[in-house]
């Protein structure tokens, strides 16, 4: 019993020291430039977050936060994808975060590990919310395509957590912003065979329940990967459990249409504007959109 107590004390002390290390590290950081922090080290891989703070940052204030997960079919991708979005919303008064996670090309992993990483990232933000000046009750999770899947997973999936994590710290998003998301992995959805027999565990559309966070979804009508019917069904299921789900469909837009450097930035402007209005309606932002 004494040995067990010592082990538990060591684990607790390690966690406390890590939390203190984050606090001390943040004390020396200038908030007027991007800050990179490690949120997870697993199997020799280091996973980082890039944080941006509002222009008129105040140490006494807790800020609404939005974290972005890049797309790439769980095979590749780069955190740079959502850099324009991060820069814009930090200018609007939010802490913005670009998150790395494990993908097949770099880590030989599956979508299941990617979901675990996304949940780890949200837990990290809540665990260190005080040191990072984050309002833990206003964490928006966003992403595009496979990154949209990870975001939706943080809103709907109750499992697929990293073994050993403190599950008393919630990994659930307070709101979701989804850009042509892969949120249905069922037989009629995206890459069902790749998910295997456990596909229902990882499919956000098959795990919508009471308490699902308010969500906004953007989809191009010419998207050959995500059918309009899938998005409409998701919206209907969300509203069926009493949760808000705003769906915007765009003519002439294919997969990835929301990126700033596609379609001359037209849909980037439109979707960011609507996201801004959505966050204003949730009282996460004030004033008028700046786009």
pLDDT digits (tens, 9 = 90+) for 261-283: 999 999 999 999 999 999 999 99
Residue 30's pLDDT band, with cuts at 50, 70 and 90, is confident
Domain ranges of the chain: 1-30, 32-281
Alpha-carbon distances of 52 from 182, 187, 202, 228, rounded to whole Å:
27, 39, 30, 34
On the question of pLDDT at 130 being above 70, the answer is yes
Q: What is the pLDDT of residues 41-52, one digit of tens each?
A: 999 999 999 999
Residue that wins the pLDDT comparison between 80 and 22: 80
Mean pLDDT for 199-220 is 98
On the question of pLDDT at 9 being above 50, the answer is no
Q: What is the pLDDT of residues 75-85, one digit of tens each?
A: 999 999 999 99
pLDDT at 22 (0 to 100)? 82
pLDDT at 107 (0 to 100)? 96
Residue 26's pLDDT band, with cuts at 50, 70 and 90, is confident
Percent of the chain with pLDDT over 90: 88
| Global pTM value | 0.92
On the question of pLDDT at 174 being above 50, the answer is yes
Residue that wins the pLDDT comparison between 13 and 130: 130
Identify which of 221, 218, 229 has the alpha carbon closest to the alpha carbon of residue 272.
218
Residue 5's pLDDT band, with cuts at 50, 70 and 90, is very low
pLDDT at 10 (0 to 100)? 33
pLDDT at 25 (0 to 100)? 74
**Residue environment code for 42-58, b if the CB has 16+ CB neighbours within 10 A, otherwise e:** eeeeebebbbbbbeebe
Mean pLDDT for 235-262 is 98
The CATH superfamily of 32-281 is Alpha/Beta hydrolase fold, catalytic domain (3.40.50.1820)
Percent of the chain with pLDDT over 70: 93
């Amino acid at each position: 019993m004494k040995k067990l107590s010592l082990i538990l004390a060591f684990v607790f002390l390690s966690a406390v020291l890590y939390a203190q290390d984050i606090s001390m590290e943040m004390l020396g950081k200038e908030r007027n430039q991007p800050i990179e922090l490690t949120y997870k080290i697993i199997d020799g891989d280091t996973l980082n977050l890039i944080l941006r703070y509002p222009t008129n940052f105040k140490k006494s204030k807790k800020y609404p936060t939005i974290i972005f997960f890049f797309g790439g079919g769980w095979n590749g991708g780069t955190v740079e994808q959502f850099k324009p979005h991060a820069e814009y919303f930090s200018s609007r008064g939010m802490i913005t975060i670009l998150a790395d996670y494990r993908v097949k090309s770099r880590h030989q992993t599956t979508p299941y590990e990617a979901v675990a990483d996304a949940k780890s990232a949200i837990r990290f933000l809540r665990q260190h919310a005080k040191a990072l000046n984050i309002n833990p009750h206003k964490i928006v999770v966003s992403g595009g395509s496979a990154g949209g899947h990870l975001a939706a997973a943080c809103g709907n999936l109750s499992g697929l957590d990293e073994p050993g994590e403190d599950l008393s710290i919630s990994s659930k998003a307070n709101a979701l912003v989804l850009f042509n998301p892969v949120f249905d992995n069922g037989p009629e959805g995206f890459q069902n065979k790749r998910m295997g027999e456990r596909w229902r565990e990882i499919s956000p559309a098959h795990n919508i329940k009471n308490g699902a966070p308010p969500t906004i979804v953007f989809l191009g009508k010419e998207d050959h990967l995500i059918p309009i019917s899938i998005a409409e069904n998701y919206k209907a299921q969300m509203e069926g459990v009493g949760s808000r789900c705003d769906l915007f469909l765009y003519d002439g837009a294919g997969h990835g249409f929301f990126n700033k450097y596609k379609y001359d930035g037209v849909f980037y402007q439109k979707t960011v504007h609507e996201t801004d209005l959505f966050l204003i309606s949730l009282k996460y932002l004030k004033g008028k959109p700046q786009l």
